[in-house]
Amino acid sequence: MRYTYNCNDGMNTDKSTNHIEAMSYKKMLKILPLKYPIGTIVNVSYTNKKKNLIIKDIKVVSND
């Protein structure tokens, strides 16, 4: 896969951190509801193609 997204829900445990591999940011957003309950705020960090570290807080919503 192209990018590895490090997702943390803020619980500070080993199980709270997931590493999601996806080809794009949009595809990673579709995987988030499978990993976390809906309504959870997740901290996502990744490195983009220009080698810049990006950190975002995302609220998990359904894929409808």
Question: What is the average per-residue pLDDT within 12-23?
Answer: 80
Give the Cβ contact number of residue 41 at 10 Å: 11
How far is 9 from 57, CA to CA, in rounded Å? 9
What is the tens place of the pLDDT at every residue in 42-57? 999 999 999 999 999 9
Q: Is the dihedral of CA 29, 32, 33, 37 positive or negative?
A: negative
On whether the CB atoms of residues 14 and 26 are closer than 8 A, the answer is no
* Residue-level length of the chain: 64
Assess whether pLDDT exceeds 70 at residue 13: no
Q: What is the pLDDT of residue 14?
A: 63
DSSP helix/strand/coil, 32: helix
Q: What is the pLDDT of residue 41?
A: 92
Assess whether pLDDT exceeds 80 at residue 10: no
